[in-house]
Amino acid sequence: MKITQEQFARLTLEEAGRLVAAAELSALDLVEASAARMDLFEPAINAVVTRTDEVSRRRAAESAASPGAGGALRGIPVAVKDNLMTRGVRTTCGSRILENFIPPYDASAVAALQNAGAVVMGKTNMDEVAMGSSGEHSAYGPTGNPWDPGRITGGSSSGSAALVAYGGALAALGSDTGGSIRQPAAFCGLVGMKPTYGRVSRYGLGALASSLDQIGPLTRNARDNALLLDVISGRDPRDSTSAAGAETAAPCLPGIEEGVKGLRIVYDPAMLEGDGLSPVMAGGVRRAMNIAAGHGARIAEAAVPLIKYGVAAYYIICSCEASANLARFDGVRYGRRCGGGDVWDVYSETRGRGFGDEVKRRIMVGAYALSQGYYDAYYLKAARVRRKLSQEFARLFLDADILLLPVAPQFPRRIGAKAGVMEDYLGDIFTLAANLAGLPAISFPIGVFDGLPTGVQAVAGPFAENILYRLARTIEKNTRLVGAPWTLAGPKEAK
């Protein structure tokens, strides 16, 4: 049986796996359909920075030649964010400073995908060095939202979300430092998981903020997402932040159909009444609560007042860690090199030309906050807020299983229609607390309003991703996205 690009775009990971296992489709059939789908939508959406069609075809052929070789993702086309190292394939982190960098090794998460049989179709666009929440800060141009190409996808995992949303790959990996998986998932009608810090190895991830970054999956449904997280999870001795709990954490897919009966789900009414929150976003949370309650969950109110202080704490901590991590891009060891004078000339020219405005802004903020005389006033206070927020969450989850809250305050705005830097930063107000506390958080679709998808976020205690998937699966079985872009023959025009 052959498959068209439109039929491919409707497949789930599990369906594709069954078809390959039954020899009704080959890995090469899937790869060709994936490439055809990308041909249709690129470069209009600009979700992909580097395509690997020929490498993918070769790996698909190797898979076909080894029928005994198994794996949960055998022959299935996926994509990875361009800050995950891929051996022999360009990895730019969305920046000019690394535009010709070719890593000599694979990130652990990429290796896990390939060990499970997946075929990586390419590297996806992203906000430069993962700094941004709109998908507009890439050195390779903004990513359009497949639901309306004139609007942002959210960031920084913009390309991963857009590619899965239009059906160019059946799943993708992103990274989440303050909402960079969950916000694009919500804006593109997908399921996006930010796992517990340390559940997925960070080895081979281009670091933004080492104490906040985590790799996770973006998919079109909860079962596929759980399957992908189970594949990439696990303890990794090469990653010093890999958590011991990653070995003993419950797998996510086996119990996903157990439902939500008996789960204690809480929400903070104050979060749903703010002036900056769209009534539709607040209504999505209420709808999710009603569905969960109708399936046996217990709903209650709970105050989480420290979340409102998270934005200030997050941007100080993140900028400080970024200023230290990005010091390695100096034009000497690897990546772009500019300037021909002394070493200081090389440093300043390389970083001045190689980094974009948003990256420079955060590096300067971080360097300032870490400088003598300001460390106590900024970084140390932010660290204290982080500790108190973590303690608040720990107390909350003594009496609750899941906290429900919005993903973003507003719908995706139009590309280029920026209200200001602070307004963009405040777009992360509901997502970054989970990163500060190292907790798992999922974004899942709740409906469509005025032609655009809306999402809801759920947070749980450490390594409780399995119950988050049970909630997401229950919700998706009782909602339906109408007019999803992967059913279209081609990209829509911008409104």
> β-strand 298-301 against 264-267: which pairing, if any?
parallel
Q: Which of 164, 114, 163, 157 is nearest to 137 (CA)?
A: 157
The reply to whether 272 and 159 lie within a common domain is yes
Known catalytic residue at 156: yes
DSSP run (H or E) holding 227: helix 222-232
144 inside domain: yes
In a domain, 245, yes or no: yes
370 and 475 part of one domain: no
State whether 270 and 374 are in the same domain: no
**Which CATH number covers residue 289?**
3.90.1300.10
Total of domains in the chain:
2
418 torsion bin: left (phi>0), alpha (psi -120 to 50), beta (else): beta
pLDDT in tens, the chain (495 residues): 689 999 999 999 999 999 999 999 999 999 999 999 999 999 999 999 999 999 999 999 887 666 555 689 999 999 999 999 999 999 999 999 999 999 999 999 999 999 999 999 999 999 999 999 999 999 999 999 999 999 999 999 999 999 999 999 999 999 999 999 999 999 999 999 999 999 999 999 999 999 999 999 999 999 999 999 999 999 999 999 999 999 999 999 999 999 999 999 999 999 998 778 999 999 999 999 999 999 999 999 999 999 989 999 999 999 999 999 998 888 777 777 777 777 777 767 777 777 889 999 999 999 999 998 899 999 999 999 999 999 999 999 999 999 999 999 999 999 998 656 677 888 899 999 999 999 999 999 999 999 999 999 999 999 999 999 999 999 999 997 755 676 666 776 544
Statement to judge: residues 293 and 321 lie in one domain:
no
In this structure, the answer to whether residues 354 and 403 fall within a common structural domain is no
The DSSP line for 194-209 is EPPTTSB--TTB--S-
Is 17 found in the same domain as 104?
yes
Domain encompassing residue 274: 5-306+391-487
Q: Are 225 and 213 in contact (CB under 8 A)?
A: no
Query: One of 56, 133, 180, 319 is an active-site residue; which one?
Result: 180
Confirm if 159 and 48 have CB atoms less than 8 A apart: yes
Residue that finishes a domain, picked among 326, 357, 384: 384
Are 203 and 269 in a shared domain?
yes
| Burial per residue of 66-105, b for 16 or more beta-carbon CB atoms within 10 angstroms, e otherwise | eeeeebbbbbbbbbbbbbbbbeebbbbbbbbbbbebebee
Last-in-domain residue among 384, 404, 424: 384
For the chain, the residue count is 495
- Cα 130 to the chain's mean position, in Å? 10
pLDDT at 339: 72
Q: Are 380 and 413 contained in the same domain?
A: no
Would you state the structure tokens that stand for residue 46, as one six-digit string?
Answer: 């600009």
End-to-end CA distance of the chain: 37
Of 34, 56, 81, 492, catalytic = 81
Whole-model pTM: value is: 0.95
Q: Is residue 493 part of a domain?
A: no
Which of the following is catalytic: 63, 108, 134, 156? 156
Pick from 414, 406, 445, 484: nearest CA to 191:
445
Are 234 and 343 part of one and the same domain? no
Q: Is residue 52 part of a domain?
A: yes
What gap in Å lies between CA 355 and CA 351, rounded to an integer? Answer: 6
Please check whether residues 74 and 219 belong to one and the same domain: yes
Is 450 a domain residue? yes
- Structural domain includes residue 151: yes
- Picking from 346, 363, 384, the residue at the C-terminal end of a domain is 384
Angle, helices 27-41 vs 158-166, to 10°: value is: 110
Q: Where are the beta strands (DSSP E) in 125-269?
A: 144-145, 148-152, 172-176, 191-194, 214-219, 264-267
| Residues 179 and 227 placed together within one structural domain of the fold | yes
**What is the pLDDT at residue 353?**
78
Enter the tokens of residue 480.
């339906």
Residue 494 resides in a domain: no
Determine which helix (DSSP H) or strand (DSSP E) holds 454, and give its type and residue range: strand 452-460
Q: What is the pLDDT of residue 484?
A: 64
Amino acid (one-letter) located at 69: A
What lies within 8 Å, CB to CB, of 472 at 6+ separation is 191, 222, 225, 442, 444, 458
Would residue 81 show up in a list of annotated catalytic residues for this protein? yes
Closest CA to 407 of 450, 453, 362, 439: 453
**What's the confidence (pLDDT) of residue 368?**
93
Q: Are residues 296 and 314 in the same domain?
A: no
Q: Is residue 276 part of a domain?
A: yes
Q: How far apart are CA 333 and CA 323, in angstroms?
A: 17
